[in-house]
Structure 1
Amino acid sequence: MLTRILPQLYALTFPEVAAVNVYIWLDGREVTLIDSGVPGSAPAIAAVLVELGRRPADVVRLIVTHGHVDHYGSAPDVAGWGAEILAHVEDAPVLRGDVPKPEPTLRDWERPIYEAIPSRPAPTVTVDRELRDGDVLDFGGGARIVAIPGHTHGSIAVHLPAHRVLFVGDTVANVGGYTVPGTFNVDCDAVGRHAAAIRDHDVDVVCVGHGEPLFGAALTRWRDAGS
């Protein structure tokens, strides 16, 4: 399912994979992807790019918000299109296959849900650029990387101040009408703190990893609920 959020911004949602999102940012002909979905998502991403008048070869970069396979699973395919792969320095070794994904610290109610999730083979991909807090990338009028560790050690947000947009990965989810801090975290307390900070961030659009992006009335309701 493709959703137009702004003239330059689209969300490609895969409902069958817990409503995971791939975000597409357009700068003229240049395309930036935020996350790439599970392995096998590349054909759907390519088809949407054609629908938008672009080609896979127009993808300049893929920014991975964190090192979970439902967010970087198709990165090897995107790299094959010629795109640069970017991830935080703490999660880059997971993408490369140098270290296993750290297991989350599960709360009692999370355990049966986590154990029921089908395991997926973890692909490996070369990380062309390792990101750190405060880095600025050349798209969207200047995209600032914000380290928000907690869901994983290398979880990041991507802030586009010129467009008042914030991509937050799995630090916040908005599924089934509920906007909540992410689950299956290595540090739940840190995720809660970052989710609260995201609620107060001075932006008009919050792009979550799972579920509907928050803007307009939905963003206002979430902010009012936390006040």
Structure 2
Amino acid sequence: MDLVEILPDQLHMLRFPIGQAYLWQDADGSLTLVDAGHATSAPTIEEAIRSLGHSPERLKAIVLTHCHRDHVGAANELAGRWGAQVLAHRLEAPVIRGEQPVPEPVLLDWEIPLYEHGLTVPEAPPTRVDREVEDGEVLPFGDGAVVVHSPGHTPGSIGIHLPRQGVLFTGDCVAGVGQVMLGVFNVDREQARASFRRLASLAPSVACFGHGDPLTKDTASILRTATTAEPILH
């Protein structure tokens, strides 16, 4: 895992071989994790927190952008060990808890080998969801983090917008792998496009993706342009 500073003393990315999570620190020292890596990554996440001079006991919340295994994996273990609250959208919560199956994406031909590669990380265990959130709900970190329902990748996918900080977490609706583009493996591609446009309209200064490098310069302009671009991966 690579630990990458995005905003000094506030925001770090934890990059795994597949996927990534983000650690936010508030001024009072409390920590929020946006997504939680795969099922065996809890010790690595704890080590990263300690390497920044924090105790994992400061982890107050784990916000899950959607139900996929590379985002949910370590949430249950971390929450159980340190008492953090797990949050997810109402539509995603039954899947995360293991009560409903993970929705199958409608894959384009060029996405099939990428999807099979992504399945090499272990399945996420059934994971508790302590708080089911809705679009527009304000969460107690980042001076008021706003839930942005962003369906398409999965029905209950969310972005998290920190308007006072100019930071946007897009989940897998948007990707930054080589280029900024619509994320892959969507259950409803057109719905995902509409969600991408909505997220881009927030005009953040920093955009953090589920896969790929964050944007920290010309972010609003790049996102706006990317909403109409086609990926070149295929």
- Structure 1 runs (4+) greater than 3 angstroms displaced: 115-119, 217-227
The residue number in structure 2 matching 1:57 is: 57
Q: Comparing 115-124 with 89-98, which one deviates more in the overlay?
A: 115-124
Supply the distance in 2 between the matched residues of 1:218 and 1:146 (Cα, whole angstroms). Answer: 18
- CA–CA distance in structure 2, aligned partners of residues 94 and 116 of structure 1: 22
Structure with more strand by fraction: 1
2:123 corresponds, among 121, 124, 129, to: 121
Preserved CA contact (<8 Å) 2:42 2:77: yes
Contact 2:153 2:183 (C-alpha < 8 Å) held by counterparts: yes
1:146-190 deviation per Cα after TM superposition (whole angstroms, max 9, x unaligned): 101110010001111110111110000101x21110111110011
Unaligned runs of 5+ in 2: 229-234
Aligned partner of 2:97: which letter? R
Q: TM-score, normalised on structure 2?
A: 0.89
Residue 99, structure 1, aligned to residue 100, structure 2? yes
Partner of 2:164: helix, strand, or coil?
A: coil
Contact 2:206 2:219 in 1 (8 A): no
How far, CA to CA, are the matches of 1:172 and 1:203 in structure 2? 13
CA distance in 2, matches of 1:181, 1:198: 11
Q: Following the alignment from structure 1 to structure 2, what is the Cα–Cα distance between the partners of residues 224 and 116?
A: 29
Shift of 1:226: 5.7
Deviations 1:19-69 (A, max 9, x none): x12100001221000000011111111111111111111100000000001
8 A Cα contact 2:72 2:124, kept in partner? no
Contact preservation (8 Å) 2:66, 2:157: yes
Percent identity over the alignment? 45
In the alignment, structure 1 residue 178 sits paired with structure 2 residue 179: yes
Q: Does the aligned pair in 1 maintain the 2:69–2:124 contact within 8 Å?
A: yes
Name the amino acid aligned to 1:9.
L
In structure 2, the partner of 1:79 is 79
Residue from 121, 144, 147 that aligns with 1:145:
147
Aligned AA for 2:95? V
